[in-house]
Amino acid sequence: MSAGTIAAAVLTLAIFSFLYKENPFFRFAEHLLVGLSAGYFVVTGVQGILLPKVWEPLKSGDWLIVIPGALIIMILGRLTEKTRPLSRIPLALIVGAGAGLAIPAMLQARVLGQIKATIKPLDSISSVLILAGVIATLIYFFFSREHKGWWGKLATVGTWYLMIFFGATFGNTVMSRVSLLIGRLEFLLGDVLGLIK
Amino acid sequence: MKFSSRGVVFVGVFLSVAFPLLFPLHLPDKISPETERFKSLIDSLPSDAVVMISFDHEASTVAEVRPLAIALIRHLFSRNLRIIGLALFAEGTAIGNQVLTSIAKEYQKEYGRDWVFLGFRPQYQSTIIGMGENIQNVFPRDYRRRSTAELPLMAEVSNYSKIALVVSVADGDYAGYWVEYAHSRFGVPTAGLVTAVMMTAYLPYLNSGQLAGLVNGLKGAAEYERLLGRPDAAVRGMDAQSLAHLLIFALIVVGNIAYWWKRKR
């Protein structure tokens, strides 16, 4: 058995020990995960981004890279009180560009694309159910009119749709978490103990 | 030692998962229309087409997404389709590279010609949109630090116009970002192999046709393995999944009856 397998098995058991109660083994494994993730991100960032996208263009005489390079350094200004205002310029650029890119893309995919899919011939039960669900749920989230009378009844139908959605999401969440447990037990019983053929 | 009711639930779930792993029950399992549709989508791609796989997940969900990725890569290589891999999550980088490398070896596929792994880029918006203009500008070097300009596969593929399908292997919102920035903007067909917890969030995209295909977690991976005729880790885990679900269902029913009984008294 390799050292990696033994380390993974010990750390898995350390994390599982939390099911009994909080303990130093669990905390050690938890902090190790946070540290390793941060370290891995830094190494990946330096190797995959700083070297090919900043250092190599600079070496080959592409001086335009100095502008984004300066913005990177300005972000690091957050580290001291005196230089903190400098970091606002690149952050403003990131937020501005991000919002500019995100708003039309989200409108297109999440709103227009979905409305287009909702407005279609009512030639099947599912089409009718989808349209009814969209209208009833939108009514539930319309707060400028009191949910009373026929309006209130439609809003109640909207809550049924929401409850079905929450139930389906919870069921899928259970399935997802059980899958993770299956992965760990397959590792412990199979790779470590050799009990699974 | 006094055992709490929480402890009983933990032991019950542990046994319901461990027992079928050790002693398979071969419970029946139905293949969902979503997985069948995804397989048909891959089967409909022309031979030699290029598929982009983005490993948009963390290490914590590897148990669920790895079988999905393995089934997909086996399917693509068995059809002689070519693969460009990348990651929009730093933790997905090493996992994606490891899975691609091992399956490529299994099918004797040559790096640079049949498949390429570009590595990781942060800031998904600029990465996805940038590749729509020019992939080599976004990834001047691949994960192995080779110049992408010198890789035969990348010489053919400059942007999404030569990509037949983008598949995001995701445990979060990233498959949606591919829809928003790659499909909506550049028209490239996009599909998602996602963790079960994300399935309900993505189904509307599938129904509206914005996602060309969607496979749901470990269950979807098991169905995919069955459709490919290569049962593997996901199929092995399905008995455990079914038994654990039965137990949780029973616990919910018993818990509700107990609650109702207590209120009545």
Minimal Cα distance from A185: which residue of B? B18
| pLDDT, mean of residues A1-5 | 90
Distance from C-alpha of B134 to C-alpha of B119, rounded to nearest angstrom: 16
Task: Judge contact between A53 and B120, C-beta under 8 A.
Answer: no
Among candidate residues A119, A136, A151, the one where a domain is terminated: A119
Same domain? For A115 and A141 the reply is no
Mean pLDDT of A143-160: 94
Number of structural domains in chain A: 3
Give pLDDT, residue A165: 95
Q: Which residues contact B202 (CB under 8 A, 6 or more apart)?
A: B175, B176, B192, B194, B211, B214
Nearest CA in chain A to B58: A37
Residue A80 maps to a domain:
yes
Cα gap B214→B170, rounded to integer Å? 11
Pair (A124, A151) in one structural domain:
yes
| In contact, A188 and B243? CB cutoff 8 Å | no
Asked if residue A70 is part of any domain, the answer here is no
Each domain of chain B, given as residue ranges in start order, spans 32-236
Residues A104 and A140 in one domain: no
Same domain, A133 and A195: yes
Range of the domain at A22: 1-61
With a CB cutoff of 8 Å and minimum separation 6, the contacts of B152 are B112, B113
Give the chain B residue nearest A103 (alpha carbons): B180
- Tokens of residue A104, six digits: 């039309």
Residue written as token pair 């996992």 = B95
Q: Do A44 and B93 touch (CB under 8 A)?
A: yes
Residue A67 in any domain: the answer is no
List of residues 6+ apart from B158 with CB closer than 8 A: B134, B135, B136
- Spatial CA neighbour of B111 closest among B77, B74, B78: B77
Contact B150, B179 (CB under 8 A): no
Mean pLDDT of all residues belonging to chain A = 92
Q: Which pLDDT belongs to residue B113?
A: 96
Indicate if ipTM > 0.90: no
**Cβ separation A189–B237 shorter than 8 A:** no
The topology (CATH level 3) of B32-236 is: Rossmann fold (3.40.50)
B145 backbone φψ class: left, alpha, beta (φ>0; ψ -120 to 50): left
Cα A74 to Cα A53, A92, A111: the distances in Å are 17, 12, 37
Classify residue A127: in a domain, yes or no.
yes
Q: Are residue A56 and residue A2 in the same domain, yes or no? A: yes
Instruction: Yes or no: say if B81 and B114 are a contact pair by the CB < 8 Å rule.
Output: no
A82 and A40, same domain (yes or no): no
Residue-level pLDDT, tens digit, chain B, 265 residues: 455 788 889 999 999 999 999 999 888 889 999 999 999 999 999 998 999 999 999 988 999 999 999 999 999 999 999 999 999 998 899 999 999 999 999 999 999 999 999 999 988 999 999 999 999 999 999 999 999 999 999 999 999 999 999 999 999 999 999 999 999 999 999 999 999 999 999 999 999 999 999 999 999 999 999 999 999 889 989 999 999 999 999 999 999 999 999 998 8
Which range is least confidently modeled, A13-22, A47-56, B85-94?
Answer: A47-56
Chain A neighbors of B217, CB-CB under 8 A: 172, 175-176, 179
